[in-house]
Structure 1
Amino acid sequence: MLEIDHRVIGVKLGLFHQQVEGPGMVFWHPRGWQLYRIIEDYIRDRMREMGFSEVRTPQLLARSLWEESGHWDKFGKDMYSVTDHDAERALCLKPMSCPCHIQLFNKHIRSYNELPLRYCEFGNCHRDEPSGSLHGLMRTRAFTQDDAHVFCAESQLVTEIGRFCQLLRRVYQDFGFGSYTVALSTRPPHRMGSEQIWDRAEEALANAASAAEVEFELRPGEGAFYGPKLEFHLMDGRGRSWQCGTVQLDFFLPERLNARFINDQGRQEIPVMIHHAILGSIERFIGILLEHYEGWLPNWLAPEPLVVSTITTADIPYALEVAADLKAAGLRVSLDTRAERLGRKIMDARDKCIPLMIVLGARDARERTISLRHRNGAQEVYNLDDSVPVLRNECGGPLAFRGKYLEG
């Protein structure tokens, strides 16, 4: 049995590794990057359904932007800075994407008819975390946030927050987390803005959560420096709690960075900004998944959900044909045609946590069948022509996602 530590599981399954030359960074191997892309594409699909437009913003921006937004005052010691020698100014690698999305909003004069305006980005972020706090995928110096921001009028808050809370429920269920708790974190000691606006923001977020039928516990003093937030804590298979999703309400950054829209009275108004994340960090979420499932990811998430194995070398031509048919149907399939005994191939597939195995022998080739072996040892025989819908059902995952990103 694999040790229940995502770092051990990741190396054992050939997903990723880390080394001293890249402290807090991740070297993704092909199988690991396949898993990463499955998750990314799944989230991309969900966000598209929710009306978010995907964007891409720069990694390196002038420090003056981070000073203007207030992030430099709050996070400056944790940000990587370099010097632009030509312009003689300081630049910073972004630790988050929110000021960048405001720049997109500000590029045009916005009308109230455009709101709510929804952006999402797989934002590559860097933070200079203390070396002693680094822990595999759970805490890194380079990571990807599934960042999303909504610019809206205050009257649209309840609807926007409610629809995102519904999305979070659906996504967590799809990934196998049926249990989670929610906390409402309020104004921290170090914060921007007036107490009156904080009162308004906290009341608005609490009302929106209640309207969405989200039960929460209050956590005073743990909000972001620019606004209160809802934190979604998942419960894993070992009873541990992991904070992943967030919904943050922000009345301050749009004002600091001069975001405006023209309201229905023809006057300029400051939009409210909602910061969203479902997973938080894709790297960290993969670490949570690996420990939650002890390496045996659901079929739809497994980098290789299916391996086609031969009994003898004489079975190779039929195995190639079967694998080609399944790949053409959009299934992720690997081949094992080594001159090894079948027992060894079964053990190797188990070591890689491959949940499904097609074993092919002379009879299968003669009768145009496949022998499907499940992780628990159960076996079934299907005609080759009938096997595709069965296997797509086995490997397809969540219904709305099924058939879209099966093949890497």
Structure 2
Amino acid sequence: MINITLKDGSMKSYEFGMTVFEIAKDISEGLARVACAGMVNGKTVDLRQKITEDCELSILTFDDEEGKKAFRHTACHILAQAVKRLFPDTKLAIGPAIDGGFYYDFDKQGSFSAEEIIKIEEEMKKIVKEDLLIERYELLRSEAISFMLGKDENFKVQLIEDLPEDAALSFYKQGEYTDLCAGPHLMSTKPVKAFKLTQVAGAYWRGNEKNKMLSRIYGTAFTKKSDLDAHIEQMEDAKKRDHNKLGRELKFFTTSDVIGQGLPLLMPNGARVIQLLQRFVEDEEEKRGYVITKTPLMAKSDLYKMSGHWDHYKDGMFVLGDESKDEEVMALRPMTCPFQFTIYNADQKSYRDLPIRYAETSTLFRNESSGEMHGLIRVRQFTISEGHLVVRPDQLEEEFKGVINLINYLMETLGLEDDITYRFSKGDPDNKEKYIDNPAAWADTEAKMKDILDHLGINYKTAIDEAAFYGPKLDLQIKNVHGKEDTIITVQIDFALPERFDMNYIDSDGVKKRPYVIHRTSIGCYERTLAILIEKYAGAFPTWLAPLQVKVLPISEKFHDYADSVVAKLKAANIRTSGDFRAEKIGYKIREARNERAPFLLIVGEKEADLNEVSVRSRKNGDEGSIALDSFIARIKEEIETRLL
């Protein structure tokens, strides 16, 4: 017998070798019906997993994140089975569950049409009704290769060939369909009744633009139709808010094939918002003791070899020149730290000089692959609120805390604080190529960072193999409107580069000591932050951040002079204003102005001109009636100065 500690803390004894599903059924028939996976000692496992030792066990349902993934992974296999039934010559690639749904990549002659997607959904419904038992079994690597060669599934063969020779590989079978898969999966196809295929897109095999372009079908699945309907409604709203669509419509940015992928052009509206954010950040950093630097956009390869970027990051850099031709090799900078460390080393520092807080609004360059780039979220040239704090060991925690306080203040001001989650990103001792090889320093720095995060009470998740090559980091994560998670801000503790650059200070005992460095951004990449804000506010920015704050609309030509004077007075008060003096009806002008998302429309006619008033229409309150122009100016100035959301 083995002892199982259940989720509620109770303990039960079961026979050796019982499966997770059998235990769920013993607890409750109802629980077994909704079970999607199990969690044994903190690790997600398949329902078919046999329990062979004392452990803690939770039965995961659709209400659990890992349960959702198992449910949607099963839906993904149902999609692939339907495609193979309808288009037998199609080759299978990969099909994972993702946040909010799933996708599967196929190699098909021609892309999937809208009519074909409807047929696939109908076939999926048939598979669900068939209530096919899902079976799991294992094959040796050589057997798995033979099996997939027999099915002419060349992508699956490539996946298997990359695995160790002694690997035992798991397969899942439902009816005539069998797929290489780590799982977990449901026990049958029956529970997957509420699903929808949402999008067809192109995707390079293994994300590499040098590989073949495949057809990717996205979908989602729920246990109830009502939840699916609500999700679809949410997705429709997401499409309207998508910065890549809305940002172009509102003239925040554009792109050009002649200029190149990942090189967006910020139009006046977008450039204005980034200018406002930059001034806000730089002023706030100055208040908090940061000193500003201005450093080159490129450097000789010698600098990057010294920092370690040449060994660990060269593929992500734009390199100019060819060493093989005995040319001087330069590279556009992917980050600013080596430059600021060189400034630090320009003269000898004392312990009294520390901490030094360097800040720079830095334009950086990273050679992102074409498959990764998206709108303003991931680009090849971007501007970042970069900073490096050089600190004594005894100052590390307090300065880290100050960085977090600054970030929290900026996020609260932008209204993003509730959208942020935290990830403690650690290195991987087994990944020798990715990280600087100093296991003792890694262990010490990660322990220090964990202590600091715990003291600050930050609720974080831990991620292995997500650190910077020179040290662990705290990633502030945020999801876009489609549910994809991106890093918006990072804070890193660096043990390696101070040594590589021989950074030091004279301590109180007269001995040279090595400082720590905190790498940080305060608001992250301005382009990415702009994208997030466009989606957050659907283009209707808070007044202080809106590229256009007031639109003045004269009722007719007779009141153009008064409208001109209103515009001039608002501009004199540093309020971003424009007027619509077209010979159009006022109703049409109002509808057009609403599309520009200005927080305030001021309508002026005979009454307003006589009384030096304006008729106010605000996004928040609608028609507010007429008020004195001076009163309106005082009101909007207060809203701007307090950065009211």
Q: State the TM-score bracket (shorter-chain normalisation).
A: over 0.9
1:82 counterpart (320, 324, 330): 320
Q: What does 1:163-174 correspond to in 2, within 5 Å?
A: 163-174=402-413
Q: Distance in 2 between matches of 1:64 and 1:38?
A: 36
In structure 2, what is the Cα distance between the partners aligned to 1:55 and 1:17? Answer: 30
How far apart, CA to CA, are the structure 2 residues paired with 1:328 and 1:95? 41
Using a 3 Å threshold, how does the CA distance of structure 1 residues 126 and 132 change in structure 2: closer, same or farther?
Answer: same
The residue that corresponds to 1:250 in the other structure is 494
Q: 1:84 to 1:321 in 2, by over 3 A?
A: farther
Q: Deviations over 1:246-287 (max 9, x none)?
A: 110001101101211111111111111000112321111111
Corresponding residue number in structure 2 for 1:182: 422
Equivalent AA in structure 2 for residue 167 of structure 1: L
1:266 aligned partner:
510
The answer to whether the 8 A contact 2:384-2:525 is kept is yes
| Closer/same/farther in 2, CA of residues 84 and 114 from structure 1, 3 Å limit | farther
User: In the TM superposition, what is the alpha-carbon distance from 1:198 to its structure 2 partner?
Assistant: 1.1
Distance (whole Å) between structure 2 residues aligned to residue 248 and residue 394 of structure 1:
35
Q: Would you say the 8 A contact 2:436–2:469 is kept in 1? A: yes
Alignment of 1:335-350 (within 5 A): 335-350=579-594
How far the C-alpha of 1:393 sits from its partner, in A, is 2.6
Structure 1 stretch displaced more, 222-231 or 191-200: 191-200
| Alignment deviations for residues 358-401 of structure 1 (CA, whole Å, 9 cap, x no partner) | 111111010111111112523232112222211113344537xx
Mean CA deviation greater in 53-62 or 87-96: 87-96
Which secondary structure state, in structure 2, belongs to the residue aligned with residue 133 of structure 1?
A: coil
Residue 88 of structure 1: CA displacement? 3.5
Deviation at 1:8, TM superposition (A): 1.4
- Residue 153 (1) aligns with residue 392 (2): yes
Q: After TM superposition, give the deviation of residue 129 of structure 1 in Å.
A: 1.0
Partner of 2:370: 131
CA RMSD of aligned residues (A): 2.1
1:354 & 1:338 partners in 2: Cα distance?
18
What is the CA-CA distance between 1:339 and the residue it aligns to? 1.5
Residue 633 of structure 2 is aligned with which of 388, 392, 396? Answer: 388
Residue 5 of structure 1 pairs with residue 242 of structure 2: yes
1:68 aligns to 2:299 (yes or no): no
**Which ranges in structure 1 are unaligned for 5 or more consecutive residues?**
403-408
Please report how far the alpha carbon of residue 120 of structure 1 lies from its aligned counterpart in structure 2 after TM superposition: 0.8
Call closer, same or farther: CA 1:7–1:237 in 2, change over 3 Å: closer
CA distance in 2: counterparts of 1:165 and 1:305, whole angstroms:
31
* Deviations 1:104-152 (CA, angstroms, capped at 9, x unpaired): 1011111111100001111111111111221110111101111111001
Which of these residues, 551, 562, 566, is aligned with residue 322 of structure 1?
Answer: 566
Greater alpha carbon shift after TM alignment, 90-99 vs 291-300: 291-300
**What secondary structure is seen at the aligned counterpart in 1 of 2:257?**
coil
Rg larger in structure: 2
Counterpart residue type for residue 451 of structure 2 = N
Q: CA offsets, 1:138-176, max 9 Å, x none?
A: 111101111111001111011001111112111111111
Q: CA deviation at 1:237?
A: 6.7
SS of 1:131 mapped into structure 2: coil
Per the alignment, do residues 154 and 59 of structure 1 end up closer, same or farther by CA in structure 2, a change over 3 Å counting?
same
Measure, in 2, the Cα distance between the counterparts of 1:292 and 1:238.
Answer: 12
Show the counterpart of 1:369: 613
Change beyond 3 A, Cα 1:217–1:50 = same
TM-score, normalised to structure 1's length? Answer: 0.93
1:378 aligns to what SS in structure 2?
A: strand
AA paired with 2:522? I
Distance 1:199 1:109 in 2: 30
Specify whether residues 73 and 230 from structure 1 end up closer, same or farther in structure 2 by C-alpha distance, changes over 3 A only: same
Q: How does 1:284-299 map to 2 (within 5 A)?
A: 284-299=528-543
Bigger shift: 207-216 or 104-113? 207-216
Aligned mates of 1:237, 1:305 — CA distance in 2? 25
CA offset digits 1:85-110 (Å, max 9, x no partner): 9x941000001111111011011111
* 1:239–1:20 Cα change, 3 Å: closer
Percent of aligned pairs sharing the same letter: 31
RCO greater where, 1 or 2, for CA within 8 Å and sep 6 or more?
1
Match of 1:121 in 2: 360
Q: Is the 8 A contact 2:608 2:626 kept in 1?
A: no
Query: How far 1:84 sits from its partner (Å)?
Result: 9.0
Which range is displaced more, 387-396 or 201-210?
387-396
- Verify: 1:112 aligned to 2:351, yes or no: yes
> Which AA in structure 2 matches 1:310?
P
Equivalent pairs counted in the alignment come to 400
- Give the Cα–Cα distance (whole angstroms) in 1 for the partners of residues 624 and 481 of structure 2: 27
Partner-residue secondary structure (3-state), 1:161: helix
Say which is worse superposed, 44-53 or 137-146, in terms of deviation: 44-53
Question: C-alpha distance in 2, partners of 1:99/1:316?
Answer: 57
Shift of the alpha carbon at 1:213? 2.4
Q: Secondary structure at the match of 1:192?
A: coil
Residue 40 (structure 1) aligned with residue 278 (structure 2): yes
Separation (CA, whole Å) in 2 of partners of 1:285 and 1:354: 20
Question: After the TM superposition, which residues 388-407 of structure 1 pair with which residues of structure 2 at under 5 Å, given as runs?
Answer: 388-398=633-643
**8 A Cα contact 1:59 1:124, kept in partner:** yes
Question: Does the 8 Å CA contact 1:150/1:273 hold for their aligned counterparts?
Answer: yes
Determine the C-alpha separation between the residues in 2 that align with 1:201 and 1:380: 61
Q: Which moved more, 1:115-124 or 1:319-328?
A: 319-328
CA distance in 2, matches of 1:395, 1:378: 21
Letter in 2 for 1:183: R
Greater Cα shift, 200-209 or 390-399: 390-399
Correspondence 1:100 to 2:344: no
- Paired residue for 1:14? 251
The structural deviation recorded for 1:241 is 4.1
> Residues of 2 paired with 1:374 and 1:240: CA distance?
33
SS at match of 2:524: coil
TM-score (norm 2): 0.60
Structure 1 stretch displaced more, 97-106 or 201-210: 201-210
Q: Distance in 2 between matches of 1:327 and 1:147?
A: 33
Letter matched to residue 182 of structure 1: Y
Amino acid in the other structure paired with 2:242:
D
Which stretch has the larger CA shift, 352-361 or 388-397?
A: 388-397
